[in-house]
Structure 1
Amino acid sequence: MTAVEPSPQRSIDDLIEPMGTGVFRAVEPLQVAAMLESQGLNDKIARERYGHDDVFSLAEAAYSHIKAMNTPPRPQAGGVLKRARPAAQMLHGLLYGMPAALLPAASGLVGTQWLMPGLVLTTGLGWVLGSVAARVAYSLIGRGYPRSAGRVLRSGLVVGVVGAMLLAGVIAVVRNGPVTLVALCVMQMAFQIASGILLLYRREGWLGVIMMPAVVAGVAYIVIGDSWVGLLTVCVGVACIAATVAGALRLTLLHGPDAPAAEPPLRELARLEASALLPSLLYAGLTAIFLLQAEGRYVLDRTDIAVAGAGLVLGMGILEYRAHAFEDQTRAAIREVRYPQDFTRRSRWLLAKGVLICVAALSALSALPLTFLYVTGDLTAASMAMAAAHVIVGGAYFVAFLLANQAKVVHLCVAQAAALAVHPVGRLFLPEGHPALADVLLFTAAATLFLLILLALMSHGLRDVRQYR
């Protein structure tokens, strides 16, 4: 399971690039501040998008950065710096899902009755920790503090692993579960957070190469089915996950040639992030609860419903890519239109286009588990409804990425809380002994409400051109 990626704080390079070569002729920070304000950038945007207290603080940082550069940057072919990376970003969902090849072998050691509940619980914890740690790290990197960002990511990894160990240990003691459950949860948590670190640093190739032996071993076990092959598969998987963690830790210790010799204490930096961190933490928790509670109750007795949403996991990278592509396209549109109403009209078309592409892609990916269920004779109306619900949730997540990029995390919390009021709260009003289909349809209604609220918020936000400069 993947987490919704947090909105990154933009770097000084992202700020300077659209301003053209004129900014390189500034002789003092006040000139840079005047240029920023002429483009509609205010103190609120400086805080939420660039991590500085006000425009003048941001201008001083930009002026210092400009003076440290030897030559102006070459103008980009499209007029804007591209953030979308199609091949790499669209593979994120597949990369996150690579350990799934190990699950058949792991179930033989842990037991099917413990495998999925353990994964669901640790996925939720990893979702929240990974999202929050990445959000803080993005902010610190954008403000020029790579060492502190690395410390945050390493701390998140340690906290996640310890938390998974304690959570699985409590389950094993209270429910008389096997010791192997603890090992499974620790490995799953370690991979989830470490893989997120690799993707944050744009090391998709590393992650694919490191985990490929585990995928090959998992497929070999499915084909051969021998218990000794299963044990070997698990050992290979543990080695690959350990290598993933080692690679992630190494990246957090690299700081680059432009890193400052000394950084403020992390405690001081954390205080500056606290106001923005709490809404992000709340939103990550709400999204994890919304999706996992809908799937988790079916992992033991209705696997047809539980696996029907696999298309969303595989398509998370597509949602991420389309969000970055939308941002690139809107920034380019600002240079091509003359009036705000022209930008609003074009950006609404780009939003509709992005939602339709995401829904179509997720529908195609959701056809894969449904086809498997059809071949095995397990396809039901409830599983088809769950697949449709996940497609709608995916469309909502695409819009959520865009709103998060505008620092509207509080709005996202309100929208997600409204969806939770429909499901699971609405489930309490269903008649006792209701069929699974009724519950899944209620979840589909909650997902639809979530999407509609986000679309309304996003459509209204398109009137503010300053958000896309």
Structure 2
Amino acid sequence: MTALASGGEPLSMDDLIRPMGTGIFRAVEPLQVAAMLESQGLNDKIAREKYGHDDVFSLAEAAYTHISTMTAPRPPAGTVLRRARPLAQMLHGLLYGLPAALLPAASGLVGTQWLMPGLVLTTGIGWVLGSAAAQTAYSLAGRGFPRSAGRTLRTGLLLGVLAAMLMAGVIALVRNGPVALVALCVMQMAFQLASGILLFYRREIWLGVIMMPAVVAGIAYMGIGDSWVGLLAVCVGVVCIAGIVGAALLLTLAAGAHDAHDDHDALAAEPPLRTLVRPDVRALLPSLLYATLTAVFLLQAEARYVLDRTDIAVAGAGLVLGMGVLEYRAHTFEDETRAAIREVVYPVDFTRRSRWLLAKGMLICLGTLATLTALPLAFLHFTHTLTEASVAMAAAHVTVGGAYFLAFLLANQAKVVHLCLAQGAALAVHPLGRFVLPDHSALADVLLFLAAALLFFLVLLTLMSRSLRDVKQYR
């Protein structure tokens, strides 16, 4: 559930240069590039929030230097660099959900009463750490520091594993839990962060191939049910996750190796990491807050039902599977709006076109999530465990998914503070509203969560609709 990292990634120099056509390649000094950028509506705020530079002049100097090193054919004027990758991005949710095949086997070894609370906590911690590491790494890579980006991702992975080890160890000691809980929480955290690194480097195929033996073993256990098969499935899962971690580390260590072969001195001159990330700290704090609020909002609504109300807990599985679709549609919307801005004449025409593109993207996202959510509901129906509360929880997750699609778009426009306020308003409804709820049944609680999700969605929809009038956001 780290799709917000991908959706809110800072833009690279190629994203800045290529859509401007061949004219920028004829610039003879950085000041000329700066004039071209300002003529396109780019200001200091956009330079900081979308490209990681202090102002337009700093960005222009970096762009001028980058142009001199480009060897790819120069695209004709009006060409738009597409960021959407249909199959790869749509599979992200499924790839993140692969370890779910091992949960029955792991529950048989550790016990559901220990495994589920541990996984909920590690998922929340990994969500926040993964988002912070990915955002910083995207910023560093966009500024031309691939080695530092790789080091940031490695540091995030190490911190996450240590945090999972500490948290699970405390649970095991204080509540007399099994030692195996520590190992399983560490493996879950390692997979969550390492898989995010593979997706950062666009190695979706690697992730699926390396994890496939564990998925097959987990399914075999569900079919056979023997405890020894369960132990074997968990061991296979450990080996596969170790392979994913190894692949992630190799990718971060190899980051920039191609550039080093071409220009070793330039790569070796990367400043210390603490110096590079200093400009990102201020922008990172709101993102960290938003990731924390989002994790709390979703996980607290699900956590109380993972042990005794399976029908409610599984009702939101469609959101996990559909996160990749939300990410893909967010990138598609950006591609389409950047293309539209070159086809229209007046801002009002762009606003009209972009509203249609937003409505199309929203309908596709909601339709996809509703279809995916129907699968667990159908399972509950055929097993005679479908309840009103599970249907309400499914509807809440579809609504949250629609809000996440809008959040991807707003995060790309650096409106993270607005996202924090919107998520805070939703948290004021649920779980805070639970304390004044006269009916404390599961159905009443889930309906309150649905109301909070709807509020979150409507606030973000209002913010996004207003942003369509600001044409320079989409250049």
TM over 0.5: yes
Q: Counterparts in 2 of 1:203-242, with a 5 A limit?
A: 203-242=203-242
Mapped partners of 2:328, 2:374: distance in 1: 21
Q: Find runs of 4+ consecutive structure 1 residues off by over 3 angstroms.
A: none
Q: Deviations over 1:15-40 (max 9, x none)?
A: 11111111111111111111111111
Distance 1:146 1:109, change over 3 A: same
Alignment partner of 1:309: what SS?
Answer: helix
Distance across 2 between alignment mates of 1:311 and 1:418: 24
Q: Any conservation in 1 of the 2:2–2:130 contact (CA below 8 Å)?
A: no
Q: Counterpart in 1 of 2:245?
A: 245
Q: CA deviation at 1:256?
A: 3.9
Per-residue CA deviation, residues 269-296 of structure 1 (Å, 9 max, x unaligned), is: 1211111010010000000000000000
Q: Distance in 1 between matches of 2:3 and 2:238?
A: 22
CA contact (8 A) 1:396 1:450 kept: yes
The residue number in structure 1 matching 2:115 is 115
Instruction: Say yes or no: does 1:468 pair with 2:469.
Output: no
Q: Which residue of 434, 452, 459 maps to 1:446? A: 452
Q: Is the 8 A contact 1:3 1:127 kept in 2?
A: no
Identify the residue that residue 315 of structure 1 maps to in structure 2: 322
Contact 1:18/1:80 (8 A) holds in 2 = yes
Cα deviation code 1:227-260 (max 9, x no counterpart): 1111111110000000000000011011143352
Offset, 1:224: 1.1
- Provide the rounded CA distance (Å) in 1 between the counterparts of 2:365 and 2:206: 26
Partner of 1:196: 196
Q: What is the 5 A alignment of 1:414-425?
A: 414-425=421-432
How far residue 3 of structure 1 moved from its aligned partner, in angstroms, is 5.0
TM-score (norm 1): 0.98
Of residues 447, 458, 466, the one that matches 2:464 is 458
Please say if residues 21 and 72 of structure 1, whose CA atoms lie closer than 8 Å, have aligned partners that are also in contact. Answer: no
Deviation, structure 1 residue 68: 1.8
In structure 2, distance between residues paired with 1:195 and 1:75: 36
Gaps of 5+ in 1: none
Question: What's 2:263 paired with?
Answer: none
1:131 and 2:137 equivalent?
A: no
Unaligned runs of 5+ in 2: 261-266
The aligned amino acid for 1:325 is T
1:103 aligned residue: 103
CA distance in 1, matches of 2:103, 2:329: 30
Q: What are the within-5 Å matches in structure 2 for residues 82-101 of structure 1?
A: 82-101=82-101
| Kept after mapping to 2: 8 A contact 1:24/1:72 | no
1:9–1:50 Cα contact (<8 Å) kept: yes
The CA distance in 2 between the partners of 1:370 and 1:82, in whole Å, is: 36
Q: 1:79, CA displacement in angstroms?
A: 2.4
Deviations 1:319-347 (A, max 9, x none): 00000000000000001100001001110
The percent of aligned pairs where both chains have the same amino acid is 78
* Deviates most, 138-147 or 248-257: 248-257
Residue correspondences, number: 467
Which of 326, 334, 338 is the matching residue for 1:327?
334
Q: Which amino acid aligns with 2:212?
A: M
Residue 71 of structure 1 and its aligned partner are, at CA, apart by: 5.7
Question: Separation in 1 of the partners of 2:70 and 2:438?
Answer: 68
State the Cα distance separating 1:459 from its structure 2 match. 0.7
Alignment correspondent of 1:426: 433
